[in-house]
């Protein structure tokens, strides 16, 4: 069932942390929405969200074949988050909120500011324009160190 914008806003008003244990994700719109709302997002270090989440919120893990998962081929892989690291990171935020609410609020604001700095509308437009320029100039590959848009 599709959630209305009001329901999504209500959801983000009652959660403190958004944990995304996805094994494979494209852009990850839910993580982007949570991040824009100032909700710290904890997710694996691979996927579209790695372009906009601060590195300290990305979890380590390992790859395993996506066998027995429907339409996936034997050469495709899932990313498996390190569960102990995820528990540790979640525990950190729960304890911070309980023991230091102001510190938790400051962490939320810092998180939101970092995400906007990395992937806010202005940054997105800048990357998009640069990509279009590269296409028109025949350079359709990204240079070293360039992130995808």
pLDDT of residue 140: 57
CA pair distance 4, 144, nearest whole angstrom: 40
> For 73-104, what is each residue's pLDDT tens digit?
667 888 899 999 999 999 999 999 999 999 99
pLDDT of residue 70: 67
The two tokens of residue 85 are 């690291």
**Span 38-49, average pLDDT:** 91
pLDDT of residue 130: 87
111 touches 35 (CB < 8 A): yes
- The radius of gyration of the chain's CA atoms, rounded to the nearest angstrom, is 17
* Of 30, 16, 1, 7, nearest in space to 103 by CA: 16
CB within 8 Å of 145: residues ≥ 6 apart: none
> For 3-17, what is each residue's pLDDT tens digit?
898 998 899 999 999
User: With 50 as the cut, is the pLDDT of residue 149 above it?
Assistant: no
pLDDT of residue 146: 55
Res. 42 pLDDT band, cuts 50 70 90: very high
Res. 60 pLDDT band, cuts 50 70 90: very high
pLDDT of residue 72: 64
CA pair distance 50, 4, nearest whole angstrom: 26
């Amino acid at each position: 069932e599709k959630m209305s914008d009001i329901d999504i806003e209500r959801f983000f008003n009652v959660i403190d942390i958004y944990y995304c244990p996805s094994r494979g994700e494209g852009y990850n719109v839910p993580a982007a929405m949570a991040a824009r709302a100032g909700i710290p997002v904890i997710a694996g270090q691979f996927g579209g969200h790695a372009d906009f989440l601060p590195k300290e919120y990305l979890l380590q893990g390992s790859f395993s074949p996506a066998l027995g998962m429907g339409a996936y081929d034997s050469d495709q892989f899932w990313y498996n988050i390190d569960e102990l690291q995820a528990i540790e990171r979640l525990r950190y935020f729960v304890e911070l909120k309980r023991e230091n609410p102001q510190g938790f609020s400051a962490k939320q604001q810092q998180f939101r500011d970092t995400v906007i700095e990395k992937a806010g509308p202005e940054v997105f437009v800048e990357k998009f324009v640069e990509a279009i320029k590269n296409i028109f100039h025949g350079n359709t590959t990204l240079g070293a160190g360039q992130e995808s848009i």
